[in-house]
């Protein structure tokens, strides 16, 4: 292919530019368009720098020229100054484009990937708002093409994508059209729209093609037949969009679902999350309203920063990460700019902010990916906090003691709950994998998710009983049921107190079998908490915490220092370092991976390490250095084949050789068992490892073909399913020590099952260590083995739970 036009994004905000570039790259399907960023100042502050812009232009110019897109104000002035810093020949190839930054960049990227020259790329970008204008009833600036000629060839395809021909599938269509020598026109046959050019992404957006609409294609030229065939095949593949984004099948959520273990009984306290439903009001002075908005944003930012610090201190960095995203929303230049534009139009601050946030929330809610759609709740949460600040309510009203009943608890509200006053939480919607559920588990508050909309009709003060372990909600229970729940709640509280008192003692079964209980950690804070709770080791260190939220990977020295700090916080206990486990489902900004229809089955874990061995080599050298100082276990994630394990072991041997100090005395090597094929081949893997560590979260979702993050199939992703038990048993029969580090290990009711299957190490969240140790002490391994055999022969997860309940009642 000939040289492609490069693009440069000039923005006051580095975060905004990176997000816009990532969105644009999602449309390119692997095309190699150079997109540079000149955003923010070197110290991270907001602003633009002409020198940085000039360098970004030079880097992006392959000879075909560069189109520069700017956000606002001084970005334009800085870009103009940058042109004067360039040599005249390069400057002549630069076009400063007045297009809207986000929409323009997406369209420009697709146009550049198709080989358009810089003038055409800029022109496409300038009409990028036509799709949005059409959707809102405005008129487009793009001029429809002439009606097809009589000699043209035609085809009609039906669009199966759930959200129609939106940006990504439309971009894929444009790439096909531009790669073939033919004149292509399109129209929405269902609505009878005008004809538009098949090479214009923005023009296609004006067609309003929705799910199940018919798209008519007309082509002329030497390759007309070929382009029609390729577009037809593309439509059959749903325009290469992920299956999760296609037409949804009817689905139900089998609830209620257990979200946080424990039982409680008390008065219902119906709680309504913040709302964005604000009456439209006007104001006389936009400047005054702007000052009110600025003050409210500052107040909310301070509150969120305090909440982030508190969550990190009390719950750990991973649980606190959600509030980093909330803070970024407050600083989103586009969101704030849209709000200030509405202020200029005469709206009061409350109305202007609510309208802008509702628009952003609706964009999230329309996304095809279930996890991304769920982030609409986070947008609502942040938006409502600012509205409270505008009204003088800086924090939510205190919640009286009882059982909170709500539609969907926000992460901010979950982090603020006082476990001494809030007995339990019942959510009508949500799922056990939501941010709020993670925070509730960390706080030790029993909770149930997906209880159904009917629970919202309960009258405030009505007695309600909750079993977060089994996923049971009883409204207005009989006196006998109340007594039963209160006895269970008191017994659990006493059990926790006993467990804490003996937390540092070894976990030995009744017949003397040692089952060390470690902690899953991802920061020095969580390591300190783990040690305080009596953890015997760090059974899983999620090393991703070092690699996330940065623009370049940590070097060997930084990694070594971080691992050593974790070991010190654990008072010299063994730390188990899982090598980098990222990929399409959790990408890094500096480590781009291809867009995949199902990232959970794609380039992640050890597969990504094999694709980028330089990252892997540095991490292994840092691990080897640490292992010379303290007991270390290293384990490789997402292994599916013996060849992958052999490759990883060879790279570890190379790291030992390069470090030049021999094999560390205490170094152990293990492999994560998350893929069913690895579980079934455990005997073949065993000669290459010292231990196995089973990640039951992924093993369950892969074994049952049920994505663990999807509320619609949450009930299917059951770690107690007999098929999962059989896989664990198969691993335990391979002759190596076996650990479990998934959520199942933290369920103290599952301890007997896991020990009976042959598991001899457990690793759980730091707060759960004492109760899991206590559960181990109550196990008789002979009885546990009988229980495990019965579980493997059971027909369902419900039957396995019944077996566990019967066993517990006999203990």
Phi, psi of 561 (to 5 degrees): -65, -40
Tokens of 790: 């019965």
What is the rounded CA–CA span in Å between residue 20 and residue 334? 11
What is the rounded CA–CA span in Å between residue 174 and residue 179? 9
Residue 424 DSSP SS3: strand
What is the rounded CA–CA span in Å between residue 441 and residue 768? 9
What is the rounded CA–CA span in Å between residue 769 and residue 534? 7
CA angle 479, 485, 487 (to 5 degrees): 100
What is the rounded CA–CA span in Å between residue 52 and residue 674? 45
Contact between 199 and 178 under an 8 Å Cβ cutoff? The reply is yes
CA 447 remoteness from chain centre:
22
Nearest one of 11, 44, 43 to 35, comparing CA atoms: 11
Question: Exposed/middle/buried for 279, CB within 10 Å: 0-12, 13-18, 19+?
Answer: exposed
Can you list the alpha helix ranges (DSSP code H) found in 207-273?
A: 224-236
**Conformation bin of residue 94: beta by default, left when phi > 0, alpha when psi is -120 to 50:** beta
CA 440 remoteness from chain centre:
18
What is the rounded CA–CA span in Å between residue 536 and residue 40? 45
Active site residues: 435, 741
| Pairing of the two strands 6-11 and 668-673 | unpaired
Cα within 13 Å of Cα(744), Cβ side: 29
What is the rounded CA–CA span in Å between residue 806 and residue 514? 24
Tokens of 759: 């598991």
- Residues 354-368, buried b or exposed e (16+ Cβ, 10 A)? bbbbbebbeebeebb
**Conformation bin of residue 616: beta by default, left when phi > 0, alpha when psi is -120 to 50:** alpha
CA 456 remoteness from chain centre:
28
- Residues 390-420, buried b or exposed e (16+ Cβ, 10 A)? beeeeebeeeeebbbbbbbbbbbbbbbbeee
Can you list the alpha helix ranges (DSSP code H) found in 243-316?
A: 286-314
Phi, psi of 646 (to 5 degrees): -60, -40
């Amino acid at each position: 292919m000939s040289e492609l036009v490069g693009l440069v994004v000039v923005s006051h905000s580095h975060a905004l530019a990176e997000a816009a570039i990532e969105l644009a790259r999602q449309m390119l399907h692997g095309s190699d368009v150079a997109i540079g960023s000149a955003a923010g100042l070197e110290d991270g502050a907001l602003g633009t720098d002409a020198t940085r812009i000039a360098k970004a232009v030079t880097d992006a110019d392959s000879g075909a020229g560069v189109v520069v897109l700017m956000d606002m104000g001084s970005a334009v002035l800085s870009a103009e100054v940058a042109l004067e810093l360039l040599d005249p020949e390069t400057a002549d190839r630069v076009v400063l484009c007045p297009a809207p930054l986000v929409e323009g960049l997406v369209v420009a990227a697709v146009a550049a990937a198709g080989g358009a020259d810089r003038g055409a790329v800029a022109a496409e970008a300038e009409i990028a708002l036509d799709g949005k204008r059409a959707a809102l009833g405005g008129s487009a600036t793009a001029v429809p093409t002439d009606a097809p000629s009589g000699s043209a060839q035609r085809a009609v395809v039906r669009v199966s994508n759930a959200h129609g021909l939106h940006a990504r599938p439309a971009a894929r269509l444009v790439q096909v059209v531009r790669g073939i020598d033919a004149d292509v026109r399109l129209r929405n046959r269902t609505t009878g729209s005008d004809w538009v050019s098949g090479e214009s992404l923005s023009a296609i957006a004006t067609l309003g093609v929705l799910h199940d609409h018919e798209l008519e294609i007309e082509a002329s030229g030497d390759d007309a037949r070929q382009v029609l065939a390729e577009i037809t095949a593309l439509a059959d593949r749903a325009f290469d969009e992920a299956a999760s984004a296609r037409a949804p099948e009817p689905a139900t959520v089998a609830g209620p679902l257990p979200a946080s273990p424990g039982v409680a009984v008390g008065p219902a306290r119906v709680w309504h999350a913040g709302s964005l439903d604000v009456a439209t009001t006007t104001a006389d002075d936009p400047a005054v309203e702007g000052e009110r908005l600025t003050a409210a944003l500052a107040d909310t930012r301070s509150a969120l920063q305090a909440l982030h610090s508190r969550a990190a201190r009390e719950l750990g960095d991973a649980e606190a990460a959600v509030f980093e995203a909330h803070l970024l929303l407050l600083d989103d230049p586009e969101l704030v700019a849209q709000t200030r534009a509405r202020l200029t139009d005469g709206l009061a601050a409350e109305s202007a902010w609510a309208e802008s946030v509702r628009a952003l929330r609706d964009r999230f809610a329309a996304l095809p990916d279930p996890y991304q759609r769920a982030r609409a709740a986070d947008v609502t949460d942040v938006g409502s906090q600012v509205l409270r600040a505008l009204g003088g309510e800086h924090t939510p009203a205190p919640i009286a003691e009882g059982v909170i009943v709500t539609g969907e608890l926000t992460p901010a509200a979950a982090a603020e709950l006082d476990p001494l006053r809030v007995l339990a939480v019942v959510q009508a919607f949500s799922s056990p994998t939501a941010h709020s559920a993670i925070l509730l588990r960390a706080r030790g508050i029993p909770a149930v998710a997906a209880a159904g909309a009917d629970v919202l009709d309960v009258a405030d003060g009505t007695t309600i009983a909750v079993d977060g372990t089994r996923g049971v909600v009883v409204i207005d229970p009989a006196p006998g049921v109340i007594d039963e729940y209160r006895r269970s709640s008191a017994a659990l509280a006493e059990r926790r107190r006993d467990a804490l008192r003996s937390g540092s003692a070894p976990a030995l079964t009744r017949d003397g079998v040692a089952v060390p209980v470690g902690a899953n950690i991802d920061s020095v804070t969580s390591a300190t908490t783990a040690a305080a709770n009596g953890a015997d080791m760090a059974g899983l260190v999620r090393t991703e915490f070092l690699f996330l939220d940065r623009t370049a990977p940590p070097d060997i020295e930084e990694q070594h220092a971080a691992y050593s700090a974790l070991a010190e916080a654990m008072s010299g206990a063994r730390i188990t370092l899982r090598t980098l486990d990222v990929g399409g489902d959790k990408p890094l900004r500096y480590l781009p991976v291809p867009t995949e229809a199902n990232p959970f089955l794609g380039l992640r874990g050890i597969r990504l390490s094999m694709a980028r061995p330089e990252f892997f080599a540095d991490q292994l050298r840092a691990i080897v250095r640490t292992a010379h100082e303290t007991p270390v276990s290293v384990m490789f994630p997402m292994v599916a084949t013996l060849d992958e394990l052999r490759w990883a072991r060879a790279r570890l041997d190379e790291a030992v050789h390069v470090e030049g100090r021999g094999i560390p005395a205490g170094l152990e090597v293990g492999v994560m068992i998350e893929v069913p094929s690895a579980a079934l081949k455990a005997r073949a893997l065993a000669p290459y490892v010292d231990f196995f560590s089973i990640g039951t979260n992924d093993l369950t979702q892969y074994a049952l073909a049920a994505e663990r993050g999807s509320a619609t199939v949450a009930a299917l992703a059951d770690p107690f399913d007999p098929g999962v038990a059989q896989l664990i048993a198969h691993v335990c029969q391979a002759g190596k020590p076996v650990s479990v580090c998934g959520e199942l290990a933290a369920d103290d009711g599952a301890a007997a099952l896991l020990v009976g299957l042959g598991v001899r190490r457990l690793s759980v969240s730091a707060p759960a260590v004492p109760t899991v140790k206590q559960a181990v002490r109550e196990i008789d391994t002979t009885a546990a083995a009988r229980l495990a055999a019965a579980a493997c022969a059971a027909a369902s997860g419900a039957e396995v739970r019944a077996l566990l309940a019967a066993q517990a009642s006999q203990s």
